[in-house]
Amino acid sequence: MSTSSSEPVRPGRASLLYDPKIRGYAYQLLLLAAVGFLVWSAASNAIENLRAQKIASGFDFWTNASGFDINQKLIEYSASAGTYGRAFWVGLLNTLLVASIGIVLSTFLGFAVGVARLSNNWVVAKIAMVYVEVIRNLPLLLQLFFWYNAVLKPLPNPRQSITLPGGIFINNRGLYLPDPQLGPGGSVLVWALVLGIVASIAFRFWARRQQARTGRQYPIGWVALGLIVLLPLALYFVLGRPVSFIYPELAGFNLRGGIQVFPEFVALLLGLTTYTAGFIAEVVRAGILAVSKGQTEAAHALGLRSGPTLKLVVIPQAMRVIIPPLTSNYLNLTKNSSLAVAIGYPDLVQVFTGTVLNQTGQAVEVVAITMAVYLTISLVTSLIMNIYNQRMALVER
């Protein structure tokens, strides 16, 4: 009687080729090598072209004198003393200004239109539907031209300006507002306003937590009104009116004094707000429809009316569906602001990628910086919205 012993079969080299894990690593290495080769080829080609055209690479141009002026600037800048680096910051701040205001306004308008599309009022629902369908199906660039050339340019000249109460003037050169000047004690008023806003936000979070724990509601709106409006207004009179105003006045063929809001900014803001609001409205409508009708029926059975039901029951649940696509619309609004170059608004693309690039010839550096800026803005916006989304996410008990 004989016994046979079998040794374990060792995998050969050929079997490694059929291992999905090994093949995956190999494909990734090949892809990485191909991408590296393309980057190296592009960089070498760019360096050779720059040398052939006798254009020096680097960022030495950053501190060179710019020699051009910018009409809208949030920081100190002049054609005689400004540098290309300073011009970059002016354009960046202008981009952030129109993007931040546009995000806030488009959110409010989009939510209003989205809720209106589901209204039981036939007229309101149809008007909201027409708005969404028209705005979403027209190119944004065409809408910017409409606001700038068809709405703002036909306004009267400064001599025939439209006068509004409070020393406000509107003409084809922009919107003119009184310029506030802080006197002695004015800084106290500003800090009171800032603290009022912070305290209102803190009270809102506290009230929401108390409501979730005990069911008791607190007058958030009245408290915010008192902290943000009534408290600074009371200090304004107690401190002896420390804020004065410089009003716009007609001088020759133009208005002097005050704060001028340029028509390019207004046209861009109106275009971005109305366009993005059309997409946000559809996101809001889809989020509301995603909430089960049983939630609404249960709220009505408890005696809640339609308004409180929408605010306290439907919208909080719909936000879990709304936030992810809402983030994409915020990103699109910020990136779409680069179309400002078409109507002459001095944003980052118009100032830096346009004028600075043409004057310096540093195409690689200027474009790389601009791309890095938009990438950073997008990543920061996504991070903030992701944090907010996690806070709104449904947590199982």
Q: What is the pLDDT of residues 309-366, one digit of tens each?
A: 888 888 888 888 899 999 999 999 999 999 999 999 999 999 999 999 998 888 888 9
**What pLDDT score was predicted for residue 365?**
87
Is the pLDDT assigned to residue 2 strictly greater than 70?
Answer: no
Report yes or no: 73 and 95 within 8 Å, Cβ to Cβ. Answer: no
Which amino acid would we find at residue 112? Answer: A
Percent pLDDT > 90 in the chain is 45
- What residues form DSSP beta bridges with 260? 176
20 vs 155: which has the higher pLDDT: 155
**What pLDDT score was predicted for residue 1?**
46
Query: Whole-angstrom Cα distance, residue 55 to residue 57?
Result: 6
Cα-Cα-Cα-Cα torsion 197, 202, 207, 210, nearest 10 degrees, comes to 180
Q: What is the mean pLDDT of residues 295-317?
A: 84
Of 125, 149, 74, 95, the residue nearest 272 (C-alpha): 95
pLDDT category of residue 213 using cuts at 50, 70 and 90: confident
The SS3 assignment for 345 reads: coil
Is the pLDDT assigned to residue 393 strictly greater than 80?
Answer: no
The winner for highest mean pLDDT among 38-52, 177-191, 364-378 is 364-378
Burial class (CB in 10 A: 0-12, 13-18, 19+), 350: buried
pTM of the model: 0.83
Q: What is the mean pLDDT of residues 109-122?
A: 93
Is the pLDDT assigned to residue 144 strictly greater than 90?
Answer: yes
Q: What is the mean pLDDT of residues 95-102?
A: 95
The SS3 assignment for 259 reads: strand
Is the pLDDT assigned to residue 216 strictly greater than 80?
Answer: yes
Q: Is the dihedral of CA 235, 236, 237, 241 positive or negative?
A: positive
pLDDT category of residue 149 using cuts at 50, 70 and 90: very high
Following DSSP, what letter does each residue of 64-100 receive, concatenated?
Answer: SB-----SS-SS---TTT-BHHHHHHHHHHHHHHHHH
Percent pLDDT > 70 in the chain is 94
Choice among 166-170, 174-178, 248-252, 369-373 with the minimum mean pLDDT: 248-252
Give every CB contact of residue 74 below 8 A, 6+ residues apart in sequence: 90, 93, 94, 97
Q: What is the pLDDT of residues 22-59, one digit of tens each?
A: 878 888 899 999 999 998 888 788 778 777 776 667 78
Output the six-digit token pair for 275.
Answer: 């366009």
Is the pLDDT assigned to residue 116 strictly greater than 90?
Answer: yes
DSSP label of 249 = E
Q: What is the mean pLDDT of residues 209-233?
A: 86
Report yes or no: 97 and 74 within 8 Å, Cβ to Cβ. Answer: yes
Helices (H), 248-362: 263-290, 293-301, 306-309, 315-336, 348, 357-360
**What pLDDT score was predicted for residue 397?**
44
Of 146, 391, 387, 92, the residue nearest 266 (C-alpha): 146
Give the N- to C-terminal CA distance of the chain in Å, as an integer.
67
Consecutive H or E run containing 198: helix 186-214
Output the six-digit token pair for 120.
Answer: 């039981």
Query: Whole-angstrom Cα distance, residue 278 to residue 135?
Result: 6
Is the pLDDT assigned to residue 215 strictly greater than 80?
Answer: no
Burial class (CB in 10 A: 0-12, 13-18, 19+), 342: middle
**What pLDDT score was predicted for residue 188?**
87
Quote the mean pLDDT of the chain: 87
97 vs 51: which has the higher pLDDT: 97
Q: What is the mean pLDDT of residues 83-96?
A: 94
**What pLDDT score was predicted for residue 396?**
44
Residue 115 Ramachandran class (φ > 0 left, ψ -120 to 50 alpha, else beta): alpha
Query: Whole-angstrom Cα distance, residue 343 to residue 153?
Result: 11
Query: Whole-angstrom Cα distance, residue 185 to residue 188?
Result: 5
Report yes or no: 87 and 355 within 8 Å, Cβ to Cβ. Answer: yes
Is the pLDDT assigned to residue 95 strictly greater than 60?
Answer: yes
What is the Rg, in whole angstroms, of the alpha carbon atoms belonging to the chain? 29
